[in-house]
Chains A and B, each alone.
Chain A
Amino acid sequence: MGALILQQTINALTVGSIYALIALGYTMVYGVLRLINFAHSELFTAGAFIGLALSGALGVAGHPMGGILVGLITFVVIGLAGVSVEIVAYRPLRRTSRLAPMLSALGMAVVIQNAVMLIGGRRPLIYPSFLPSGVIELFGAIVSYKQITIFAVAVVLMIGLELFVNRTNLGVRIRAVAENAETASLVGINPNTAISLIFFIGPGLGAVAGVLYSSFYGVATFTMGFVIGMKAFTAAILGGIGSIPGAVLGGFLLGIIETFATAWMPVLTGGLIGTEYRDIFAFSVLVLILLFRPAGLLGEHISEETMVYKSDF
């Protein structure tokens, strides 16, 4: 039993790492623009496909070192795609109602998904792994090097982001714009630079998550972003949308809730509720958190003043 709990925890941390990486993109954009970037999940898919194309072009399938190179290039390519999406679809609508950019985001999601489908095809593609193979036994549970790598990459990227936002000059600008764009521009900060930066980093991290995800499961499909994007979005809300540590916490928590519920519901209900209902748990969490703690677990404290400023933005 102990080994089983440990095994499920390891599984949960693996899937949680991926949720957390994607959730960062949602939370950063929301923190600054009060916009849910629905195109984010499709950029995640696009990242996985670009990783696949690169692995073929560079001939590095199965090499972890090549994987780092592929990860970096994918980060930059999808980061630039994210910046372009913002310039094309969100910037012109920034001063209109809150509804317009959201609809534009939904439209972008459809456009990107179709582009991926046209280029990559409709069939599920077999994905070569960039992750090292092999396993270690730990108190009766099996931990694969793949799982360790995913966890390590996610933790390194998340710590890096946290340091970047809190300890660098650019990070200060991002936080200033997030706090209040107009006041920030009064002291000489160009909000567009900060926003572009966010649209570079968020999708970039999502793209790395896409490469990790497809490498781990061994498959890429053009529709895979939808459900996983919804889950990462749930994770961002669970942790408190707008908060970077919140997104990380939400991602891991959601991974744990989902994995344990999926594993034990069939046992508790005698097979009536099977693992096919795994998505229900994530969305039940979403409903509960919205009902009882809409700001999320680590949600930013919203004073009346900031509410007024941000709703104007």
Chain B
Amino acid sequence: MHLKGLLYAAVAVTAISGIPLTGAARADILIGTAGPTTNAEALFGTTWQNGMELAVRQANAAGGVDGQKLVLERDDDGGDPKQGTLIAQKHCDNAGMLAVVANFNSGVTIPSSDVYNRCGMPQVTNASNPKVTKAGYKNLFRPIANDLSQGAAPAEYALAKLGAKKAAVVHDKQAFGQGVAEVFRDNFTKGGGTVTSFSGIAQTDVDFSALLSSIRAENPDVIYFGGVMPAVGLFVKQARELGIKATFFAADSAFTPDFIAGAGPASEGTVVSFQAPPYDSSPALQKFATDYKAAFGEEPGPYSAYGYVEASIIIEAMKKAPTPLTRAGIAAEIAKSDFDGLVGHVAFTPEGELKKPFLFLYAVTGGKFVLVK
């Protein structure tokens, strides 16, 4: 009797959970997304997906696509490649799923893109590692600056605007950190500067005094740090305590209030590269920030505008693609994208990279990130 009861309950639960799923697949157009909404990057991932959600809601309010409603299916990959590929397979197997915004991290996007490519799923990614587009998949698009521009712009700025001659470069030996540091080094040298040292640290290091003492003796004008939090915050703080006066440069991973809190007053003047302009820098972004706050009751996160742009790219393509909508038809339309998005003009090279990548430099001024370029 007891077992029978359990069985009935199980059947009932399956039935209840099954109805909305099959119902959605028949009537609505599904857009999938996967990003870290748990773990260290939860804040980034969640607010990024909220940006997409906003784009989908606005499209639905304007009548949807061909009278059909759009539904965003949000998944959590935890920044974990294993989880990301499982979700990719799930999205592929869902016939109603016509495009995805995935993933947030390069380490997840690279393996998941193999899966999405096999089922021809249009994939718009937020991952910045140059390797992401190396496979040459025709269904993969990146409407965000890759790390090559992220190392190049600071080098150019240091040489031209700050008149820097000597730079010390430090990285954390990870794909991202070392990648941007190498690009910075190469561009700085090419521009006529001298790199006094190029050193690696361990990602989990907290004591940089030995390295910083050597760097202090080199007396560089600027120091570029390719790495993530909390190392970057500790590094800058300890450097200032040792009396190093050089200007610091860091990549987008330092574009977080934690960096300013962690490094304290030492963070002042640090130049950080980031893919999005501040939310008060244009009327369109101001409107976005207001809409976002109305929808989710909080300020937009650093990548919310990107989530919005990435979902918009898919929605724009769906509007133009031949009906009935297919994955291949949408991918072909995304490749032809040519419109002004929230942060800049969206148009892709044949490799799926932006024709003109957006990149902005901020400096910490008065405990806040202020746009400098």
Give A residues with C-beta under 8 Å from B: 3-4, 7-8, 11, 14-15, 122-124, 126, 135, 142, 144, 146, 217-219, 221, 223-224, 227, 258-260, 262-263, 266-267, 271, 274-276, 278-279
Q: Which residues of A contact B258 (CB under 8 A)?
A: 126
The one of B172, B204, B205, B262 in contact with A126, judged by C-beta atoms closer than 8 angstroms, is: B262
Does B338 sit at the interface, judged by CB under 8 A?
A: no
Q: Are B173 and A276 in contact (CB under 8 A)?
A: yes
Additional 5 contacts, C-beta under 8 A, given A124-B230, A135-B243, A276-B173: A126-B261, A217-B238, A262-B210, A263-B210, A274-B173
- 8 A Cβ contacts from B103-151 to A: none
- 8 A Cβ contacts from B199-217 to A: 199-202, 204-211, 213-214, 216-217
> What CA separation (Å) do A188 and B355 show in the bound complex?
85
Q: Which residues of B contact A223 (CB under 8 A)?
A: 204
Q: Which residues of A contact B40 (CB under 8 A)?
A: 122-123
Q: Which residues of B contact A126 (CB under 8 A)?
A: 230, 233, 258, 261-262
Task: List the A residue with the shortest CB-CB distance to B208.
Answer: A275
Q: Is the interface of A mostly helix, strand, loop or mixed?
A: helix
Q: Are A276 and B217 in contact (CB under 8 A)?
A: no
Q: Are B213 and A217 in contact (CB under 8 A)?
A: no
Q: Which residues of A contact B262 (CB under 8 A)?
A: 126, 218-219
Q: Which residues of B contact A218 (CB under 8 A)?
A: 233-234, 237, 262, 264
Task: List the A residue with the shortest CB-CB distance to B216.
Answer: A7
B86 to chain A, nearest CB (A): 22
Q: Which residues of A contact B172 (CB under 8 A)?
A: 276
B195 to chain A, nearest CB (A): 11
Q: Are B206 and A224 in contact (CB under 8 A)?
A: yes
Does B253 sit at the interface, judged by CB under 8 A?
A: no
Q: Are A217 and B234 in contact (CB under 8 A)?
A: yes
**22 A-B pairs in the complex with CB atoms less than 8 angstroms apart:** A4-B213, A4-B217, A7-B242, A8-B210, A11-B210, A15-B209, A126-B258, A126-B261, A126-B262, A135-B243, A142-B243, A218-B233, A218-B262, A219-B206, A259-B209, A259-B210, A260-B210, A271-B197, A274-B201, A275-B205, A276-B201, A276-B205
> What CA separation (Å) do A29 and B84 show in the bound complex?
47
Q: Are B200 and A276 in contact (CB under 8 A)?
A: yes
Task: List the A residue with the shortest CB-CB distance to B229.
Answer: A124
Does B198 sit at the interface, judged by CB under 8 A?
A: yes
Task: List the A residue with the shortest CB-CB distance to B203.
Answer: A276
A44 to chain B, nearest CB (A): 14
Does B241 sit at the interface, judged by CB under 8 A?
A: yes
Q: Which residues of B contact A266 (CB under 8 A)?
A: 197, 199, 214
The one of B39, B197, B206 in contact with A217, judged by C-beta atoms closer than 8 angstroms, is: B206
Q: Are A219 and B234 in contact (CB under 8 A)?
A: yes
> What CA separation (Å) do A98 and B76 show in the bound complex?
46
> What CA separation (Å) do A310 and B179 show in the bound complex?
55
Give B residues with C-beta under 8 Å from A: 39-40, 172-173, 197-202, 204-211, 213-214, 216-217, 229-230, 233-234, 237-238, 241-243, 258, 261-262, 264
Q: Which residues of A contact B207 (CB under 8 A)?
A: 15, 217
A282 to chain B, nearest CB (A): 12
Report which residue of B173, B208, B241, B243 has the largest number of chain A beta carbons within 10 angstroms of its beta carbon: B241
Q: Are A11 and B234 in contact (CB under 8 A)?
A: no
Report which residue of B173, B199, B209 has the largest number of chain A beta carbons within 10 angstroms of its beta carbon: B209
Task: List the A residue with the shortest CB-CB distance to B258.
Answer: A126
A23 to chain B, nearest CB (A): 17
Q: A275-B200, A276-B173 are in contact. Are A267 and B214 (CB under 8 A)?
A: yes
Q: Which residues of B contact A122 (CB under 8 A)?
A: 39-40
Q: Which residues of B contact A124 (CB under 8 A)?
A: 229-230
Task: List the B residue with the shortest CB-CB distance to A262.
Answer: B210
Q: Are B213 and A7 in contact (CB under 8 A)?
A: yes
Q: A126-B258, A219-B206 are in contact. Are A275 and B211 (CB under 8 A)?
A: yes
> What CA separation (Å) do A262 and B202 show in the bound complex?
12
> What CA separation (Å) do A260 and B213 show in the bound complex?
11
> What CA separation (Å) do A146 and B262 show in the bound complex?
17
Q: Are A263 and B197 in contact (CB under 8 A)?
A: no
Q: Which residues of B contact A227 (CB under 8 A)?
A: 204
Task: List the B residue with the shortest CB-CB distance to A123.
Answer: B40
Q: Are A219 and B230 in contact (CB under 8 A)?
A: yes
> What CA separation (Å) do A278 and B207 show in the bound complex?
10
Q: Which residues of B contact A260 (CB under 8 A)?
A: 210
> What CA separation (Å) do A296 and B173 show in the bound complex?
35
> What CA separation (Å) do A122 and B40 show in the bound complex?
8
B208 to chain A, nearest CB (A): 8
A107 to chain B, nearest CB (A): 24
Q: Which residues of B contact A15 (CB under 8 A)?
A: 207, 209
Q: Which residues of A contact B216 (CB under 8 A)?
A: 7
Q: Are A275 and B210 in contact (CB under 8 A)?
A: yes
A15 to chain B, nearest CB (A): 6
> What CA separation (Å) do A218 and B214 show in the bound complex?
21
B153 to chain A, nearest CB (A): 25
Q: Are B206 and A263 in contact (CB under 8 A)?
A: no
> What CA separation (Å) do A176 and B201 show in the bound complex?
46
Q: Are A274 and B199 in contact (CB under 8 A)?
A: yes
Q: Which residues of B contact A11 (CB under 8 A)?
A: 209-210, 213
> What CA separation (Å) do A267 and B202 show in the bound complex?
17
A214 to chain B, nearest CB (A): 9
Q: A217-B207, A219-B230 are in contact. Are A135 and B198 (CB under 8 A)?
A: no
A3 to chain B, nearest CB (A): 8
Task: List the A residue with the shortest CB-CB distance to B42.
Answer: A123
Task: List the A residue with the shortest CB-CB distance to B244.
Answer: A142
Q: Are B213 and A146 in contact (CB under 8 A)?
A: no
Task: List the A residue with the shortest CB-CB distance to B172.
Answer: A276
> What CA separation (Å) do A258 and B233 show in the bound complex?
23
> What CA separation (Å) do A224 and B202 show in the bound complex?
14
Q: Which residues of B contact A258 (CB under 8 A)?
A: 210
Q: Are B242 and A142 in contact (CB under 8 A)?
A: yes
Q: Are B241 and A146 in contact (CB under 8 A)?
A: yes
> What CA separation (Å) do A217 and B264 show in the bound complex?
12
Q: Which residues of A contact B208 (CB under 8 A)?
A: 275
> What CA separation (Å) do A126 and B261 show in the bound complex?
7
A156 to chain B, nearest CB (A): 22
> What CA separation (Å) do A262 and B206 show in the bound complex?
14
